[in-house]
Amino acid sequence: MPTVTLIEAVTMAMDHEMSVDEDVVVLGEDVGRNGGVFRATDGLQEKHGEDRVIDTPLAEAMIAGLSVGMAAQGMKPIAELQFMGFMFPAFNQIVTGAARLRNRTRGRLSVPLVVRMPYGGGIHAPEHHSESTEALFAHIPGLKVVTPSSPARAYGLLLAAIRDPDPVIFLEPKRIYRMVKQEIEDDGEAYPLETCFIDREGDDVTLVSWGATMHETLLAADELADEGISCEVIDIATIAPLDMPTIFDSVEKTGRVVIVQEAAKTGGVGSEIAAEISEHRLMSLIAPIGRVAGYDAIMPLAKMERHYMPQVVRITDEVKKVMDYS
């Protein structure tokens, strides 16, 4: 059983589906000969051919539009946009095309499309390379939005995304592309979409996060456990649609919630989770909902990134504030 990083798990999942389904194709900037800017598609063109791993011009709108057309005609394209910050030229095609085509044709056409995007900060990249704007896609009916927090989840969730009959935005937290390794059997076993994962059970407070910030959230839970605070840690994994029943069950048990996101605080996914809890489980709460987030500012450059992204100390401080509420 190979031990792989998150980026290698992404490659493994694409290779598996291309090997068993000839309708699966990959396209994007530098995905073929160069194997992608982060090497996610390394070796795929050599193995599967230039007609299935397609290098495109530097034109995100074209990549998205071409992919929508291919998907509507029965293919299963996996489109790579090199960075999430470059997705805005493609946004029109994704929102007005991919997300709406099933409804527009009353079910006659579907769009089994995966749009992969590296996202988030942590690699000291310049502006437009560090965004976490997942809330923009989560707001669009017709799109699923998924982000893995580990190599195993990258493999299982990407398999599910490729097999889904509708468009999936697959956000890859590049800060943890090579942070850890896990043993993964390349058996084609997909993880379910639309389902949260409970990474740790606890009784005192529920911590909710996703993507790269799961790393800090789990470290914070370790520190808090040493101080006698038992944290239940939830990785939502599928940002849209949200699996709120799993979160509700945890809130009923703990009565306290802290939500951790890298994205800017205002209008983020964390705000929606907090609103859902307030609307449906208000009487289960024994303290106000806490939020730890990025700031309402552009991600700063280089080493200043760490001051923007949630750190363990910010999470533990917020948890203690929630625990001390009376």
CB 31 within 8 A of CB 213: no
Rounded alpha-carbon distances, angstroms, from residue 1 to 115, 182, 183, 186, 284: 28, 10, 6, 8, 44
From the list 270, 274, 267, the residue with the least C-alpha distance to 239 is 270
Q: Give me the catalytic one of 16, 124, 128, 129.
A: 129
Whether the upstream peptide bond of residue 241 has omega within 30° of 0, thus cis, is yes
Spell 230-251 as b/e; 16+ CB within 10 A means b.
ebbbbbbbbbbebbbebbbbbb
Q: In angstroms, how far is the first alpha carbon of the chain from the final one?
A: 50
d(CA 230, CA 160): 32
Q: What are phi and psi of 27, to 5 degrees?
A: -145, 150
SS (H, E, C) 116-147: EEEECCCCCCCCCCCCCCHHHHHCCCCCEEEC
From the list 49, 52, 54, 122, the residue with the least C-alpha distance to 83 is 122
Q: What are phi and psi of 118, to 5 degrees?
A: -65, 135
Q: What are phi and psi of 196, to 5 degrees?
A: -75, 155
Output the CA torsion 287→196→83→41 (10° steps): 160
124 catalytic residue (yes or no): no
Active-site residues, by number, are: 129
